[in-house]
Amino acid sequence: MDAKSFEHKKVLITGGLGFIGSNLAIRLVQLGAEVTVVDSLIPTYGGNLWNVEPVRDKVRINISDVRDPYSMKYLVAGMDYLFNLAGQTSHMDSMENPETDLAINTLSQLQILEACRHHNPDVRVVFASTRQVYGKPQSIPVSETHPVVPVDFNGVHKLAAEQYHRLFFDVYGVRSVILRLTNTYGPRMRVVDARQTFLGIWIRRLLEGKPILIYGDGKQLRDYNYVDDAVEAMLLAAISNNCCGEVLNLGSKELFSLTETAQVFLDLFPGGKVEYIPFPEDRKRIDIGDYQGDFSLITARLGWEPKTTFHEGMRRTISYYQQNQQKYW
């Protein structure tokens, strides 16, 4: 990527105080962008002012909710780039409160895109979606042509939001790219519970001297992306003219069972323990089984591939939480 691509560019990041949004904001500030982060700071959603501490004086922070169409209309105007990351990410919460999930993950996206269309049609949009839209894979690795059969409301609502982004490009020419993220992890992720990724709560338990809990037999397969790699994909997607209106998977060259994942933790954290427990019924019925994303399309379109091994990424992540524990507990 040309290091000047974002210099002096106006960038809006929804969910910008959250895990991925804040890492993206820090990177964009380093690249010389003028960054506005918008975040609702809803307690369970992962927004945390400490996340942007390294660039606190260099970003504009706007606390508002994407469900508020008036603030969004004002905020998108004049932006060169919109990284659309705000959302409710918990699968379980979406089952408890599907209407809230619909309002945040679907209706808000419609309103944001309507704001772009009417007030800033030239903005470039990157939408952070999720592999959850596929549901239980019929086979792995899963490419973008795999059927979309989400197993929870969160997947249904993110899928509708994806379709909005595609439609606003096809019908109105608003240039969007949709990235389907897989398990992203790294510094600044939520660790108090599994609402973003179970890797967060695993780290917390280890640092608290508690065993990691694995549901079921630990044989489920997962792929992981270190947050810097996910951020790089977003930056590349934002500036490319080669993927407007398209859906692109992220993914990893490495594939781990949950047991193997835990082993990486234990290598980095000697003395840690793992405990296997029965799958809770409410989680089991929305579980997707094995997953691995096929990311060959984004490699072809944008030249992206993940650069950080899981071992190295986890080492950095654990180190971050050892140093910043009190800000995330």
Pick from 22, 89, 90, 106 the residue near a copy of itself by CB under 8 A. Answer: 106
Pick from 1, 49, 61, 149 the residue near a copy of itself by CB under 8 A. Answer: 149
Residues 6+ apart with CB under 8 A from 64: 38, 40, 71, 72, 75
**Residue 95, interface with a copy of itself (CB under 8 A)?**
yes
**Residue 84, interface with a copy of itself (CB under 8 A)?**
no
**Residue 152, interface with a copy of itself (CB under 8 A)?**
yes
Q: Which stretch binds a copy of itself (CB under 8 A): 146-154, 267-275, 303-311, 312-320?
A: 146-154
| Residues paired with 77 in a beta bridge | none
Measure Cα distances from 227 to 19, 146, 160, 231, 317 in Å. Answer: 9, 25, 25, 6, 10
Size, binding site for a copy of itself by CB under 8 A: 30
Please report the DSSP string for 95-128 in residue order: HH-HHHHHIIIIIHHHHHHHHHHHH-TT-EEEEE
**Residue 115, interface with a copy of itself (CB under 8 A)?**
no
By C-beta, is 40 or 94 nearer to a copy of itself? 94
**Residue 148, interface with a copy of itself (CB under 8 A)?**
yes
Binding map of a copy of itself across residues 231-260, x = CB under 8 A, - = no contact = ------------------------------
CA 167, distance to chain mean position in Å, is 22
By C-beta, is 77 or 149 nearer to a copy of itself? 149
Task: Name residues contacting a copy of itself, limited to 289-318 (CB under 8 A).
Answer: none
Distance between CA atoms of residues 327 and 329, nearest Å: 6
**Residue 166, interface with a copy of itself (CB under 8 A)?**
yes
Q: Which stretch binds a copy of itself (CB under 8 A): 45-53, 95-103, 122-130, 311-319?
A: 95-103
Least distance between a copy of itself and beta carbon 156 (Å): 4
* Structure-token pair, residue 316: 């950095």
Distance between CA atoms of residues 294 and 283, nearest Å: 25
8 A C-beta contact, residue 129 and residue 178: yes
Q: Is 188 left (phi over 0), alpha (psi -120 to 50) or beta?
A: left
Least distance between a copy of itself and beta carbon 255 (Å): 26
By C-beta, is 95 or 213 nearer to a copy of itself? 95
- N- to C-terminal Cα separation, the chain: 36
**Residue 110, interface with a copy of itself (CB under 8 A)?**
yes
Distance between CA atoms of residues 212 and 277, nearest Å: 10
| Residues paired with 276 in a beta bridge | 214
Pick from 5, 71, 100, 163 the residue near a copy of itself by CB under 8 A. Answer: 163
Pick from 164, 169, 202, 224 the residue near a copy of itself by CB under 8 A. Answer: 164
* CA nearest to 205, candidates 195, 215, 194: 194
Distance between CA atoms of residues 29 and 24, nearest Å: 9
**Residue 176, interface with a copy of itself (CB under 8 A)?**
no
Least distance between a copy of itself and beta carbon 321 (Å): 34
Binding site for a copy of itself (CB under 8 A): 95, 98-99, 102, 106-107, 110-111, 114, 145, 147-153, 155-157, 159-160, 163-164, 166-167, 170-171, 285-286
